[in-house]
């Protein structure tokens, strides 16, 4: 009974000694960026609260757009303005091209064997090249355009079939994006009927994706105070290990099925997993042949990062348009002028939908799917804006705060798509990593590999929902009273799901199968 407290007290005493010695050792005579005074041992972790991107934005108002914090024994620098972000992600991009050690990469992502968390180097370049060529190139996206359009058509039928009942729009959007990606990756849906119901394995899979996003958004104390890692004080490591076993079982089943000749996609296009398996013996990257673990890690990245982000962004876009009926009407009028009322929207229509594109950009600005960038790590010490950045520092870019910076945006808290139109304040701004005031996909070498796919899916879904339906909130709720609060995870979810009544506005035959 007394052994565990004794071990705990000893560990804390040794840790205190280590921290005191570390603090007394001169790190550098060069000045660090400003920031709040850290607490003993835990540093600034308690300052993050339940919504870290909000807390860090408030700190930046006080200390400036470049801050230094301590998370346990780890140096952390935070960029909260476009100019500071550009220094890190453009000028010093190569120095910040790797990820810091973290429990999520270790316990969930096959011990850094995936694309998202792999150290910068030959292996990462091989994985990036494979995804860029076989999944995210313009040719690959065009080859599978029909898959995305077919799955969006399935969604419209499900919504039209709802009758007068209330639907949770985000849930159906997640089903659609997951099925569209699964057909490209695996050659088949993972949500059998396209509606999310009646499929126990599909429902379980969706729960796993949500749980992963929640766990990945946790600031695990063990990552920042290694001496306490073994205690797993928050229970995060245990949850990650259990979730990994479930995902691994799911992915093993898929992998074995493909090795035995299952699931090749129709219309002459081979699914991604078949391609990855073929690369095991003939890898075209510089980092060696592809292993089963790396294949599963790539699939894990795509399933988690490629579904929840797109569906949540569309849910935010629809919530904003429902709040502002005049914007919804303008978007509907534009789509009708291009598409008409006798067919559904195609991806080929998207370049002509200027206002719709502005709506999507404004949604990415106000509701970035990843409000805090995935962390990067300084490979060497450097200087940014006259401040010393120590080697090994973790970099966080507050994408959410940058896109709401009043120095860069007029009325930054307002949903105003016209700011991206030709006569607006930012007519030429894009979200592809070149304009640092709006970087929902990140920037530099570690920019989101699936950006092009995400943009197509978000625009197609938003355009189709706007074009094919009129929308009312559940229970007769006034649109002006719609709850727009955020829930924090690795991705930016709505605190309250969007519950709506869709009413078909096009010809009835467009909502029928075949």
486: β partners = 494
Cβ atoms 251, 296 nearer than 8 A: yes
- Give the position of tokens 């429990």: 103
- Give the position of tokens 């997640």: 174
Supply φ then ψ for residue 209, to 5 degrees: -65, -45
Alpha-carbon gap, residue 88 to 383, rounded angstroms: 10
H-helix segments, 103-166 = 103-107, 122-134, 138-143, 145-160
Q: Tens of pLDDT along 19-68?
A: 544 544 445 568 999 999 999 999 999 999 889 999 999 999 999 999 99
- Give the position of tokens 């894990």: 300
Supply φ then ψ for residue 405, to 5 degrees: -75, 115
Is 131 annotated among the ligand-binding residues?
no
Alpha-carbon gap, residue 462 to 465, rounded angstroms: 5
Alpha-carbon gap, residue 172 to 178, rounded angstroms: 10
Residue ranges, the chain, pLDDT below 70: 1-29, 192-203, 261-269, 281-288, 489, 514
Residue 83 in tokens: 């100019």
Alpha-carbon gap, residue 19 to 39, rounded angstroms: 12
Q: How far is CA 367 from CA 87, 361, 440, 449, in A?
A: 23, 10, 9, 20
Q: Tens of pLDDT along 450-494?
A: 999 999 999 999 999 999 999 999 888 888 889 999 987 677 889
pLDDT of residue 29: 60
**DSSP result, 226-273:** GGGGGG-TTSHHHHHHHHHHHHHHHHHHHHHHHHTT----STTPPPHH
Alpha-carbon gap, residue 13 to 461, rounded angstroms: 56
Q: Pick the closest to residue 147 from 486, 457, 372 (CA basis).
A: 457
Sign of CA dihedral 341, 344, 349, 352: positive
Q: Which CATH architecture group holds 3-29+50-61+83-511?
A: Orthogonal Bundle (1.10)
pLDDT of residue 194: 47
User: What does the domain layout of the chain look like in residue ranges?
Assistant: 3-29+50-61+83-511
- Burial class of residue 210 (count of CB atoms within 10 Å of its CB; 0-12, 13-18, 19+): middle
End-to-end CA distance of the chain: 68
Q: Pick the closest to residue 391 from 97, 165, 75, 80 (CA basis).
A: 75
E strands, 398-456, where?
none
Alpha-carbon gap, residue 117 to 301, rounded angstroms: 10
- Burial class of residue 421 (count of CB atoms within 10 Å of its CB; 0-12, 13-18, 19+): middle
**DSSP result, 326-358:** HHHHHHHHHHHHHH-SSS---GGGGGG-HHHHH
């Amino acid at each position: 009974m007394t052994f565990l407290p004794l071990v705990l007290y000893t560990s804390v005493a040794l840790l205190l000694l280590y921290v005191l010695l570390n603090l007394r050792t001169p790190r550098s005579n060069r000045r660090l960026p400003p920031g709040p005074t850290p607490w003993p041992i835990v540093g600034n972790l308690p300052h993050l609260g339940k919504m870290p991107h909000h807390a860090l934005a408030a700190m930046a108002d006080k200390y400036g757009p470049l801050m230094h914090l301590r998370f346990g024994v780890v140096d952390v620098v935070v960029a909260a303005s476009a100019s500071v972000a550009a220094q890190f992600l453009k000028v010093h991009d190569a120095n910040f091209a790797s990820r810091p050690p973290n429990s999520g990469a270790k316990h969930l992502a096959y011990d850094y064997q995936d694309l998202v968390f792999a150290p910068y180097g030959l292996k990462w370049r091989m994985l990036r090249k494979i995804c860029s060529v076989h999944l995210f190139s313009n040719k690959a996206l065009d080859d599978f355009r029909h898959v995305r359009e077919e799955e969006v058509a399935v969604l419209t039928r499900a919504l039209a079939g709802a009758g007068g009942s209330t639907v949770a729009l985000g849930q159906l959007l997640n089903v659609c994006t997951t099925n569209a990606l699964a057909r490209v990756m695996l050659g088949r849906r993972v949500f059998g009927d396209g509606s999310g119901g009646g499929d126990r394995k599909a429902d379980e899979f969706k729960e796993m994706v949500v749980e992963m996003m929640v766990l990945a958004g946790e600031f695990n104390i063990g990552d920042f105070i290694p001496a306490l890692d073994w205690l797993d004080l928050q229970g995060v490591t245990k949850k990650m290990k259990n979730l990994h076993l479930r995902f691994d079982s799911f992915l093993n089943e898929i992998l074995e099925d493909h090795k035995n000749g299952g699931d090749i996609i129709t219309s002459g296009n081979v699914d991604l997993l078949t391609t990855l398996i073929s690369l095991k013996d003939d890898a075209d990257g510089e980092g060696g042949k592809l292993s089963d673990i790396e294949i599963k890690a790539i699939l894990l990245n795509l399933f988690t990062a490629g579904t929840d982000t797109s569906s949540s962004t569309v849910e935010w876009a629809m919530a904003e348009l429902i709040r502002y009926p005049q914007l919804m009407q303008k978007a509907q009028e534009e789509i009708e002028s291009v598409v008409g009322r006798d067919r559904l929207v195609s991806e080929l229509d998207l370049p002509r939908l200027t206002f719709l594109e502005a709506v999507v950009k404004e949604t990415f600005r106000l509701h970035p799917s990843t409000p805090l960038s995935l962390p990067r790590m300084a490979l060497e010490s450097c200087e940014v804006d006259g401040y010393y950045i120590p080697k090994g520092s973790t970099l966080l870019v507050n994408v959410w705060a940058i896109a709401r910076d009043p120095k860069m945006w007029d009325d930054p808290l307002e949903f105003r798509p016209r700011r991206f139109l030709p006569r607006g304040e930012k007519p030429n701004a894009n979200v592809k990593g070149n304009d640092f005031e709006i970087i929902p996909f990140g920037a530099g070498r570690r920019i989101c590999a699936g950006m092009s796919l995400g943009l197509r899916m978000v625009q197609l879904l938003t355009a189709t929902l706007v074009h094919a339906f009129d929308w009312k909130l559940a229970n007769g709720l006034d649109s002006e009273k719609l709850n727009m609060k955020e829930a924090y995870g690795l991705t930016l979810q709505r605190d309250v799901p969007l519950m709506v009544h869709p009413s078909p506005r096009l010809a009835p035959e467009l909502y029928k199968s075949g």
